[in-house]
Structure 1
Amino acid sequence: MPCAALAASTLLWMAAGPAPARPETPVPAPATALEPLFADIVARAQGLKGQAETLRQTKAVASEAFKTEIADLAALNMVGQQRVRDRGNDGDLACILRGIAEDLPVKLAALQLASEPADRDLALRELIYLLNDNVEVIIAPPGPSAGPAPGGAI
Structure 2
Amino acid sequence: MKHLALIAILLTTPVMAATPTVNPLSKEPFYAAIVRDAGTLKARTVRMAQSPSLTILTSAGFKSYAREISTLSERNLKGHLDLKARGTDNDLKCVLKGVSLDLPRKLAAIEAAKTPDALQGALNDMANLLEDNIDVIVTPATADSGLDCVIEFGNS
Question: What does the per-residue CA deviation read over 1:61-112, in whole Å, with 9 as the maximum and x for residues that have no partner?
Answer: 1411100100010011011111111111111101100000000000000000
SS in 1 for 2:78: helix
For residue 82 of structure 1, give the secondary structure of its aligned residue in structure 2: helix
Q: Is the 8 A contact 1:33 1:39 kept in 2?
A: yes
Aligned AA (2:81)? Q
- Find 1:32's aligned residue among 25, 36, 50: 25
Contact 1:77-1:98 within 8 A present in 2 as well:
yes
Is there any run of 5+ residues in structure 2 with no aligned partner, and where? 1-17, 147-156
Paired residues of 2:91 and 2:144 also in contact (CA < 8 A): no
Deviation at 1:27, TM superposition (A): 7.2
Give 1:106's aligned residue: 105
- Other-structure match for 1:143: 142
User: How well do the aligned residues superpose, as a CA RMSD in angstroms?
Assistant: 1.9
Structure 1, unpaired ranges of 5+ = 1-24, 148-154
- Matched residues, number: 123
TM-score (norm 2): 0.73
Contact 1:27 1:141 in 2 (8 A): no
In the other structure, the counterpart of 2:117 is 118
Aligned equivalents of 1:123, 1:146: Cα separation in 2: 29
Distance 1:146 1:131 in 2: 22
Counterpart residue type for residue 99 of structure 2: I
Structure 1-normalised TM-score? 0.74
Larger Rg: 1
Within 5 Å, give how 1:46-57 maps onto structure 2: 46-57=39-50
Which of 1 and 2 has higher RCO (CA within 8 Å, sep 6+)? 2
